[in-house]
Chain A
């Protein structure tokens, strides 16, 4: 029984790390622009797809590095082409533009890679290997993704706290006009936030690819989950997104234990919504901070 409990917990952690690593990316762009970038899931897909393609002739680490760089460039180009030159765009306008971008990237990926399913090889071991921790079995790739997710969160926190660029981004997040008045190049900061979140999305896409597989249309599903945890955690806070990711994953996993799996999504989302009603500014969000942002 206790063994079963831990096995479900491991499953929940697996789901959670996938959701969390997608969710983090949402926050960076939200912080500098106040919008949810619906194309974030597509960055995850692009990362995975590009890495698989590059892996055909490059060793795995280089392929991943290349994929992250290429996706970062794409992220930057998208911002320059579609967002940068807009004057005081409304939030809804930006959201609809990102929805459009997401659709175009997906269709582009279909044209380039076709409808087939691909995946990177397991970083350690293969499809059947697993570590046994007292009867509970964990795939090494799950540990890889938890590890990478942790490293990303730690590095992001350090970056925002201790580097000049990071501080400028936070200034942008707090008040864009004031930041501009202080001589911070806010436009470049926004571009950089797209580059950064594209890179993080791509890295997440590479790490989870052996577990989840990559197909041209995985972005939407991942984005919906990532969006859910990013908001439920409380927007603008990467740690909160990770926390909410794990909560959602564990809820899903344990709902399967007792109820038909077909209702997994309904149950986990219903519980999360109930939590949201009690804490309308996100599970770990700050009420005062929320008031500063508007829709």
Chain B
């Protein structure tokens, strides 16, 4: 076993040292992803997606006649490794662009590095702070937290909900969502009675939910991207709380629905349309992209597609389209092309970038979904 591992390691080192030799005439794209570690549910599908797409692009002759060379670095979700890898990719590998990191914390730590190194960064992380303030070279593909919050608040208005309790996990995702909720609540006439942060590796959250129950709210907003969010739902229902539970777009992983079991029924959350691709009408402009990605991914990896992998898909797609539209592999020009790109259909929505908006998505990128009999379904209006 140990010998096998050593051989694997030796092979890795060899591969790393051989890699630059193949570089001529290719487009080198770096990726910093949390393939292992606590955020691996983000990084693993993202890495698989990128590998699948690179293979696909190269099989079809590459971009503008040049093959794509992917350099994936596994950060394990740790920001200091992300810093080291970002410097490596920019200074040594001289990559054309970087896709990732998977988490907001890592992205925020390398935002300045990418900006100083004048390297395009297409982040797969959610936090709004990544593109606000706008950094010239930094873009992101997941939908904005604020848009998710706005969709939830609109839905609440329809349901006549004004007093809410907020639970969020102690990770970058949870923190970003919490701040947006607190910022946007007043203008939507929503009152936050209680806002609590729970441990993302919590094993049970009965006490937290008890506190919410005692606060007598009309609905719970539960903002997290980790498995612990399913524990909240379960504990709330066990306690006999029947008020509506709203989740974030971080709930878009069918494994969480399975984990929450019967308790997940009726949960409402905004998400990209990837999860309900087969129920969309044929007129929907995203339908074709979503179905082809879903089919290809699920056939290749024999596992359910998740919206997180979709963020990497969008990043690669943007890169590919921008290079084609520019016609030359020139970092400055491609950056300008991305900044002015309109109407690109991705898995997360339809991207319309501008110099002041490096995300390019609006609230329409989200669909309000619910869970019915253990499956995702579009929420009936």
A residues with CB within 8 A of B = 4, 7-8, 10-12, 14-15, 18, 107, 110, 114-119, 121, 126-130, 132, 137, 139, 208, 211-213, 215, 217-218, 221-222, 252-254, 256-257, 260-262, 264-265
Distance from B240 Cβ to chain A, minimum over Cβ atoms (Å) = 5
Residue of B nearest to A13 (CB): B206
* Extra pairs beyond A115-B36, A117-B227, A213-B259 (12, CB < 8 Å): A7-B210, A11-B204, A12-B207, A15-B203, A121-B261, A127-B237, A128-B234, A211-B204, A213-B230, A217-B37, A222-B203, A261-B197
Given contacts A115-B41, A117-B256, A130-B240, contact A212 B204 (CB under 8 A): yes
| A-B pairs, 10 with minimum CB distance | A11-B206, A11-B207, A212-B203, A115-B40, A127-B261, A262-B197, A117-B227, A253-B207, A127-B263, A128-B237
Distance from A40 Cβ to chain B, minimum over Cβ atoms (Å) = 15
Is there an interface contact between A128 and B263, defined as CB atoms closer than 8 Å? yes
The listed residue (B201, B230, B238) touching A221 by CB distance below 8 A is B201
The listed residue (B36, B203, B230) touching A110 by CB distance below 8 A is B36
Is there an interface contact between B262 and A126, defined as CB atoms closer than 8 Å? yes
Distance from A223 Cβ to chain B, minimum over Cβ atoms (Å) = 12
User: Does B38 lie at the interface of the complex (its beta carbon under 8 Å from any beta carbon of A)?
Assistant: yes
Q: Which B192-226 residues have C-beta < 8 A from chain A?
A: 196-199, 201, 203-204, 206-208, 210-211, 213-214
Q: How far is the CA of A212 from the CA of B226 in the complex (A)?
A: 13
Is there an interface contact between B203 and A18, defined as CB atoms closer than 8 Å? yes
Given contacts A110-B36, A116-B41, A262-B196, contact A18 B204 (CB under 8 A): yes
Which of B238, B256, B264 neighbours the largest number of chain A CB atoms within 10 Å of its CB?
Answer: B238
Given contacts A114-B44, A117-B256, A137-B239, contact A127 B234 (CB under 8 A): yes
Q: How far is the CA of A110 from the CA of B44 in the complex (A)?
A: 11
User: Does B260 lie at the interface of the complex (its beta carbon under 8 Å from any beta carbon of A)?
Assistant: yes
B interface SS class: helix
The listed residue (B41, B206, B256) touching A10 by CB distance below 8 A is B206
Q: Chain A contacts of B227 at CB under 8 A?
A: 117, 213, 215
Q: Chain B contacts of A107 at CB under 8 A?
A: 36
Is there an interface contact between A261 and B211, defined as CB atoms closer than 8 Å? yes
Distance from B88 Cβ to chain A, minimum over Cβ atoms (Å) = 23
Given contacts A8-B210, A215-B227, contact A128 B262 (CB under 8 A): yes
User: Does B231 lie at the interface of the complex (its beta carbon under 8 Å from any beta carbon of A)?
Assistant: yes
Q: Chain A contacts of B198 at CB under 8 A?
A: 261-262
User: Does B255 lie at the interface of the complex (its beta carbon under 8 Å from any beta carbon of A)?
Assistant: yes
The listed residue (A114, A212, A265) touching B231 by CB distance below 8 A is A212
User: Does B170 lie at the interface of the complex (its beta carbon under 8 Å from any beta carbon of A)?
Assistant: yes
Cβ contacts B18-52/A at 8 Å (1 or 0 each): 00000000000000000011101100100000000
Q: How far is the CA of A113 from the CA of B206 in the complex (A)?
A: 28
Q: How far is the CA of A137 from the CA of B237 in the complex (A)?
A: 10
Is there an interface contact between B204 and A7, defined as CB atoms closer than 8 Å? no
Q: Which B318-344 residues have C-beta < 8 A from chain A?
A: none
Which of B234, B240, B256, B262 neighbours the largest number of chain A CB atoms within 10 Å of its CB?
Answer: B234
Is there an interface contact between B207 and A257, defined as CB atoms closer than 8 Å? yes
Q: Which B225-264 residues have C-beta < 8 A from chain A?
A: 227, 230-231, 234, 237-240, 255-256, 259-264
Q: Chain A contacts of B231 at CB under 8 A?
A: 211-213
Q: How far is the CA of A208 from the CA of B259 in the complex (A)?
A: 14
Is there an interface contact between B170 and A127, defined as CB atoms closer than 8 Å? no
Distance from A44 Cβ to chain B, minimum over Cβ atoms (Å) = 11
Chosen A-B contacts, 13 in total, with CB atoms closer than 8 Å, are: A7-B239, A107-B36, A117-B227, A117-B256, A127-B263, A127-B264, A129-B238, A213-B231, A213-B259, A217-B38, A257-B210, A262-B196, A262-B198
Is there an interface contact between A8 and B207, defined as CB atoms closer than 8 Å? yes
Q: How far is the CA of A221 from the CA of B199 in the complex (A)?
A: 11
Q: Chain A contacts of B259 at CB under 8 A?
A: 117-119, 213
The listed residue (B196, B230, B256, B264) touching A260 by CB distance below 8 A is B196
Residue of A nearest to B208 (CB): A261
Distance from B198 Cβ to chain A, minimum over Cβ atoms (Å) = 6
Given contacts A257-B211, A262-B196, contact A14 B204 (CB under 8 A): yes
Q: Which B249-288 residues have C-beta < 8 A from chain A?
A: 255-256, 259-264
Is there an interface contact between B44 and A115, defined as CB atoms closer than 8 Å? yes
